[in-house]
């Protein structure tokens, strides 16, 4: 049957491409495969429409009108990537209708379906060979068959709406965000890198002097020798390969020796320079001065997005030096950055899913949730008790064990267990809900989010205690984290629609935060629209609260009302 498929595809010379336009329009639907997308180029492209397949080795710009036409439905595998590539060549891409990567991800987000071959193997039990001249013809038919199969399975899991109304529209929103990019203040960032680099050089000198020898500061192995053998400092913790030299360890050692203190600062600055300084500067588009990340829509097991090249979801914020990096993300003069983040969305989701009376009441009264928890658990709200309550709240969301909580709070496991027991006796709705999650997970082999997306947990009944407990934490965390992800996805689609045709743009999503670029004149209108779309994305038993900020850069922002 391979030959039959291979014969099915017709190579088209650039001169004849124009003749495809009318038939494609008549078909109204086109399956696309593209090869060699890596270097902002395309090596070849297969198209299938109206029951026939063609292969183009060049000349697809003549089909720009087809690609840009929203009414012509596009079917393929990772179409956002194709859209990015076409965009580099000045060709707009609209009308994403079905994506086998995203469909397969919706059905099983725990698996890697980044390549068509992996989806074909899973759902058609059909291996895909090495690329060759006939590859496109076969891939087009594979996608056609896969679509039918995946549509059936989505329907069977009642995910067809979620797929077509959330994930598919989202892929276009993400494509636009990637294409638009976020502006970088390059001279500022370069200057900042230089000044950090000077500090690093000085710290290196100091550390070598204190150690009495030069060594590679970036090597935990060499550092471990200096700290624990040469200087005879007390090791705190072991790793697989030796003694740990992580931040927690160095903090302890810093109390008895000055080298670890310097090293902490060195590591911090080195991290900022290498991850957020140099590499960020290298990724700025020289034409636009902007950074164009890639949002991965089909990577995480919980349904969150991820971001890479560069990762804009882990830009520093906590330390002062870190905030200086963040300051390099700017709006052009006539515009502002608008940041909108969900307040405590995870705990609000937990309140909704569990129906716990105390948690619901705290949010309905718009209380500070960590204060409310502190009052409930300890009867008082000292800063210390609030911190404790906050850590416990985080622990609940992460399905944290007594062991994990003990480590986080630096207390013994017995005390940690007491805290957790106390929490569950006060918030018994939460306790019941989490127990029920575990029961369902064990019985069904999966857990679900509010929109019905599943995450399978093959290890949930494992005889291996470590694996089983890890699966149990996942079972507790995924419905919460995954539901929060569902909610912000809906909000993004609604906001993008609200912005259509305007000069305001979504730029970045950071799990519970959206960053937009907005003309100064529109800031009030857009801020209110964003708040409205985010709070109304989904109706929960508690209100969704959104905090808005605006400013010329991503670090220095003022509250919006």
Partner DNA sequence: CAGGCACGC
Partner DNA sequence: GCGTGCCTG
The 223-252 site mask, x for binding DNA (CB under 7 A), equals ----------------xxx--xxxx-xx--
User: What is the rounded distance in angstroms from the CA atom of residue 485 to the CA atom of residue 509?
Assistant: 11
Q: Is the dihedral of CA 306, 439, 448, 108 positive or negative?
A: positive
- For position 222 contacting DNA by CB under 7 A, the verdict is yes
User: What is the rounded distance in angstroms from the CA atom of residue 46 to the CA atom of residue 32?
Assistant: 6
- For position 267 contacting DNA by CB under 7 A, the verdict is yes
Element (H, E) at 359: helix 357-364
Contact by Cβ (8 Å): 484, 502:
no
Backbone angles phi, psi at 246, to 5 degrees: -75, 180
Return the DSSP state at 234.
P
Nearer to DNA, 67 or 398 (CB): 398
Cβ 536 to DNA shortest distance, Å = 20
User: What is the rounded distance in angstroms from the CA atom of residue 405 to the CA atom of residue 413?
Assistant: 8
The 318-337 site mask, x for binding DNA (CB under 7 A), equals xx--x---------------
Cβ 557 to DNA shortest distance, Å = 12
Q: Among 67, 329, 398, 550, which residue sits at the site for DNA (rule: CB under 7 A)?
A: 398
Count of residues touching DNA (by CB under 7 A): 56
- For position 148 contacting DNA by CB under 7 A, the verdict is no
- For position 551 contacting DNA by CB under 7 A, the verdict is no
Cβ 274 to DNA shortest distance, Å = 3
Q: How far is CA 305 from the centre of its chain?
A: 3
Cβ 111 to DNA shortest distance, Å = 11
- For position 268 contacting DNA by CB under 7 A, the verdict is yes
Six token digits for residue 21:
């336009």
Six token digits for residue 30:
């086109």
- For position 112 contacting DNA by CB under 7 A, the verdict is no
Return the DSSP state at 539.
-
Q: With CB under 7 A as the contact rule, which of the stretches 3-11, 265-273, 351-359, 420-428 interacts with DNA?
A: 265-273
* Residue found under tokens 């307040």: 343
- For position 202 contacting DNA by CB under 7 A, the verdict is no
Contacts of the segment 209-217: beta carbons below 8 A, 24+ positions apart: 210/258, 210/259, 210/262, 211/259, 217/263, 217/266, 217/267, 217/270
Cβ 194 to DNA shortest distance, Å = 16
Please name the residue ranges forming H helices in 89-185. 100-107, 116-124, 135-156, 160-162, 168-180
Nearer to DNA, 74 or 80 (CB): 80
Cβ 21 to DNA shortest distance, Å = 38
The 507-526 site mask, x for binding DNA (CB under 7 A), equals ---xxxx-------------
Cβ 513 to DNA shortest distance, Å = 6
Nearer to DNA, 112 or 436 (CB): 112
Residue 125 CB contacts under 8 Å (≥ 6 apart), including other chains: none
User: What is the rounded distance in angstroms from the CA atom of residue 470 to the CA atom of residue 441?
Assistant: 13
Nearer to DNA, 75 or 203 (CB): 203
Please, what is the Cα angle at 485 between 290 and 394, to 5 degrees? 105
Cis preceding linkage at 310, omega within 30:
yes
User: What is the rounded distance in angstroms from the CA atom of residue 22 to the CA atom of residue 72?
Assistant: 12
Nearer to DNA, 4 or 39 (CB): 39
The 457-496 site mask, x for binding DNA (CB under 7 A), equals -------------x--xx--xx--x---------------
Nearer to DNA, 189 or 474 (CB): 474
User: What is the rounded distance in angstroms from the CA atom of residue 558 to the CA atom of residue 339?
Assistant: 10
Cβ 489 to DNA shortest distance, Å = 14
The 289-318 site mask, x for binding DNA (CB under 7 A), equals -------x--xxxx-x-xxxxxx-xxxxxx
Cβ 475 to DNA shortest distance, Å = 9
Binding to DNA in span 76-105, by CB under 7 A: none
Distances (CA, A) of 407 to 203, 322, 341, 413, 428: 30, 26, 29, 8, 25
User: Under the rule (CB under 7 A), what is the footprint of DNA?
Assistant: 216, 218-222, 239-241, 244-247, 249-250, 264, 267-268, 271-272, 274-275, 279, 296, 299-302, 304, 306-311, 313-319, 322, 398-399, 404, 470, 473-474, 477-478, 481, 510-513
């Amino acid at each position: 049957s391979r030959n039959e498929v291979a014969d099915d595809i017709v190579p088209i010379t650039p001169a004849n491409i124009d003749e495809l336009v009318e038939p494609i329009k008549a078909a109204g639907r086109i399956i696309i495969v593209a090869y060699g997308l890596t270097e902002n180029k395309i090596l070849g492209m297969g198209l299938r429409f109206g029951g026939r397949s063609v292969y183009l080795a060049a000349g697809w710009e003549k089909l720009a009108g087809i690609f840009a036409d929203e009414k012509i439905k596009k079917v393929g595998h990772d179409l956002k990537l194709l859209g990015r590539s076409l965009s580099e060549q000045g060709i707009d891409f609209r009308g994403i209708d079905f994506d086998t990567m995203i469909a397969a991800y919706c059905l099983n987000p725990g698996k890697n379906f980044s390549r068509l071959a992996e989806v074909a193997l899973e759902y058609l039990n059909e291996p895909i060979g090495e690329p060759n001249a006939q590859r496109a013809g076969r891939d087009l038919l594979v996608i056609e068959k896969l679509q039918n199969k995946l549509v059936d399975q989505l329907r069977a899991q009642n995910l067809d709406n979620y797929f077509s109304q959330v994930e598919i529209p989202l892929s276009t929103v993400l494509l636009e965000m990637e294409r638009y990019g976020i502006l970088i203040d390059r001279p500022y960032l370069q200057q900042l890198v230089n000044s950090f680099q000077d500090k690093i050089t000085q710290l290196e000198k100091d550390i070598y002097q204190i150690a009495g020898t030069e060594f590679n500061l970036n090597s935990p192995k060499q550092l471990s020798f200096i700290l624990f053998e040469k200087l005879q400092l007390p090791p705190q913790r072991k790793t697989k390969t030796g003694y740990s030299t992580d931040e927690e360890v160095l903090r302890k050692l810093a109390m008895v020796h000055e080298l670890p203190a310097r090293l902490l600062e060195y590591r911090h600055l080195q991290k900022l320079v290498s991850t957020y300084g140099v590499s960020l500067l290298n990724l700025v588009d020289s034409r636009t001065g902007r950074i164009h990340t890639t949002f991965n829509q089909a990577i995480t097991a919980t349904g969150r997005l991820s971001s890479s090249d560069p990762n804009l979801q882990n830009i520093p914020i906590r330390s002062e030096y870190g905030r200086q990096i963040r300051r390099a993300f700017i709006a052009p003069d006539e515009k502002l950055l608008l940041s909108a983040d969900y307040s405590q969305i995870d705990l609000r989701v937990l309140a909704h899913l569990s129906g716990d009376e105390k948690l619901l009441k705290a949010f309905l009264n718009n209380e500070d949730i960590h204060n409310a928890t502190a009052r409930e658990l300890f009867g008082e709200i000292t800063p210390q008790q609030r911190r404790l309550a906050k850590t416990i709240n985080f622990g609940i969301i992460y399905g944290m064990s007594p062991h994990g909580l003990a480590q986080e709070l630096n207390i013994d496991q017995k005390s940690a267990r007491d805290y957790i027991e106390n929490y569950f006796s006060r918030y018994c709705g939460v306790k019941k809900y989490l127990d029920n999650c575990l029961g369902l997970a064990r019985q069904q082999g999966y857990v679900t989010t509010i929109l019905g997306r599943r995450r399978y947990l093959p290890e949930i009944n494992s005889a291996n205690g470590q694996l089983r407990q890890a699966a149990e934490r996942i079972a507790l965390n995924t419905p919460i984290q995954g539901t929060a992800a569902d909610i912000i996805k809906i909000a993004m689609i609604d906001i993008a629609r609200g912005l259509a045709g305007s000069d305001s743009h979504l730029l970045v999503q950071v799990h519970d935060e959206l960053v937009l670029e907005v003309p100064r004149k529109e800031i009030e209108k857009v801020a209110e629209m964003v708040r409205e779309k985010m709070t109304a994305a989904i109706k929960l038993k508690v209100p969704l609260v959104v905090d808005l900020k605006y400013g010329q850069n991503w670090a220095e922002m003022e509250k919006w009302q």
